[in-house]
C-alpha cells in the first residue's frame, strides 16, 4: 500500500542532513522536473519584492524569500519531520517506535510543490511554495507535475494507493485509473444522520489514521482489507457511491 499525504505550509527550520541533491529522493524519474522548479524558485527569490508578490507573502512572511534563495545549500531533514501543522502534528512521526517509523518510510509519500512526490524519509530543505502558485517562467504547477507524478506512481506499481491529499495536491498528480486506489474524505455524522465534511479536523483525522496504521502495520492490498482493519480498530471507514472512502469522526462541539 502507498499512502499519499499533502504537505504543510508550515515547516521546521534547520536540519542536520546534507544539502539537497536530486538523487537523494525517491521517484528519481522526477529529478529533471524538480531541477526545473528549484531553478525557477531560486531565481525568483533574487528579487524579494517580486517573490513576495508571487508567493503571496505578508510583510511578516518575507523571510521565506531568503529561505527559498538558499534552498540548494540549506540543511535537510526527513520530509515527514520537516512538515508541521495539524496533520503532521497528529501523525507525530518523531515519537513513533523504530518499527512504526520504518513502516512510514516504506509506505508513505508526501506530495510537495517544488519536489513533486517524495518518500516520507527523503531529506528535503525548508522552502515556501504552494500548489496554487505559478512561478514566472513555468506553467501552472498542475501542468508542471500532473503527468510526471502520475507516471511515477504507476511505475512504482503499488498494490493500492490510499489518497489522503487535499484536492489541490491530488490535481497535481492524478493517480492513473488502472492503479487500485481510494480517495478519503473526512466527515462527521450528526444524531440525525446528516453528514458534513470537515476542514481543520480533516487534517487531524488523516494524521491520526496514518499513525494508527503505522502502529499496527496491517497487510493492506485494497480498500476491502483496509476497511476490515479499520473495523477491527474501531475506526469508521466506509465506501461512498462516488467510489471514495469516508472517514467518519465524532461530531465537532464548540
Helices (H) and strands (E) in the chain, counts: 10, 10
Q: Is pLDDT at 251 greater than 90 in this prediction?
A: no
What is the tens place of the pLDDT at every residue in 9-50?
Answer: 999 999 999 999 888 899 999 999 999 999 999 999 999 999
Q: At what angle do helices 31-44 and 141-155 cross, to 10 degrees?
A: 150
CA distance 169 to 185: 14
Could you give the CA distance from residue 141 to residue 108 in angstroms, rounded to a whole number? 22
Q: Output the nine-digit C-alpha cell for 159.
A: 498494490
What does the block give as the cell for 115? 519536489
- How much is the pTM? 0.94
Q: How many residues does the chain have?
A: 254
pLDDT by residue (tens digit) across 44-99? Answer: 999 999 999 999 999 999 999 999 999 999 999 999 999 999 999 999 999 999 99
Domain that residue 230 falls in: 2-249
- Least confident span in 173-177, 194-198, 210-214: 194-198
Give pLDDT tens digits for 109-138.
999 999 999 999 999 999 999 999 999 999
DSSP H helices, 21-165, are 31-44, 48-54, 63-69, 79-82, 86-91, 98-107, 141-155
- 173 located within any domain: yes
Residue 18: inside a domain, yes or no? yes
| Per-residue model confidence (pLDDT) at position 192 | 61
Residue 239 or 190, more confident: 239
Count of domains for the chain: 1
Asked if the structure places residue 152 within a domain, the reply is yes
Q: CA nearest 248: which of 199, 204, 185, 165? A: 185
Q: Is residue 254 part of a domain?
A: no
Q: Is the pLDDT of residue 235 over 60?
A: yes
Q: What gap in Å lies between CA 83 and CA 141, rounded to an integer?
A: 20
> Residue 123 has what pLDDT?
97
Residues sharing a CB contact under 8 Å with residue 233, sequence separation 6 or more, in sequence order: 212, 216
The β-bridge partners of 118 are 110
Nearest Cα to Cα of residue 28 among 115, 113, 107, 108: 115
CA gyration radius, the chain = 18
Between 66 and 243, the more confident residue is: 66
pLDDT at position 232: 95
Give how far the C-alpha of residue 225 lies from the chain's centroid of Cα atoms, to the nearest Å. 23
The whole-chain average pLDDT of the chain stands at 93
Amino acid at each position: 500500500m502507498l499512502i499519499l499525504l499533502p504537505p504543510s505550509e508550515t515547516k521546521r527550520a534547520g536540519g542536520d542532513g546534507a544539502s539537497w541533491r536530486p538523487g537523494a529522493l525517491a521517484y528519481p524519474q522526477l529529478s529533471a522536473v524538480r531541477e526545473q522548479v528549484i531553478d525557477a524558485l531560486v531565481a525568483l527569490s533574487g528579487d524579494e519584492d517580486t517573490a513576495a508578490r508571487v508567493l503571496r507573502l505578508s510583510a511578516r512572511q518575507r523571510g521565506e524569500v531568503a529561505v527559498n534563495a538558499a534552498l540548494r545549500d540549506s540543511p535537510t531533514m526527513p520530509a515527514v519531520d520537516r512538515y508541521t501543522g495539524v496533520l503532521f502534528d497528529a501523525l507525530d512521526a518523531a515519537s513513533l517506535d523504530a518499527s512504526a517509523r520504518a513502516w512510514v518510510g516504506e509506505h508513505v509519500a508526501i506530495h510537495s510543490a517544488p519536489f513533486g512526490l517524495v518518500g516520507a524519509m527523503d531529506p528535503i530543505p525548508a522552502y515556501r511554495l504552494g500548489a496554487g502558485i505559478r512561478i514566472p517562467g513555468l506553467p501552472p504547477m498542475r501542468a508542471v507535475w500532473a503527468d510526471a507524478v502520475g507516471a511515477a506512481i504507476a511505475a512504482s506499481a503499488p498494490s493500492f494507493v490510499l489518497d489522503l491529499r487535499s484536492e489541490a495536491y491530488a490535481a497535481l498528480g492524478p493517480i492513473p485509473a488502472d492503479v487500485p486506489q481510494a480517495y478519503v474524505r473526512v466527515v462527521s455524522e450528526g444524531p440525525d444522520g446528516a453528514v458534513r465534511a470537515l476542514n481543520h479536523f480533516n487534517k487531524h483525522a488523516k494524521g491520526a489514521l496514518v499513525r494508527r496504521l503505522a502502529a499496527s502495520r496491517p497487510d493492506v492490498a485494497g480498500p476491502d482489507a483496509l476497511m476490515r482493519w479499520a473495523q477491527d480498530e474501531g475506526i469508521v471507514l466506509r465506501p461512498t457511491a462516488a467510489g471514495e472512502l469516508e472517514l467518519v469522526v465524532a461530531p465537532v462541539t464548540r
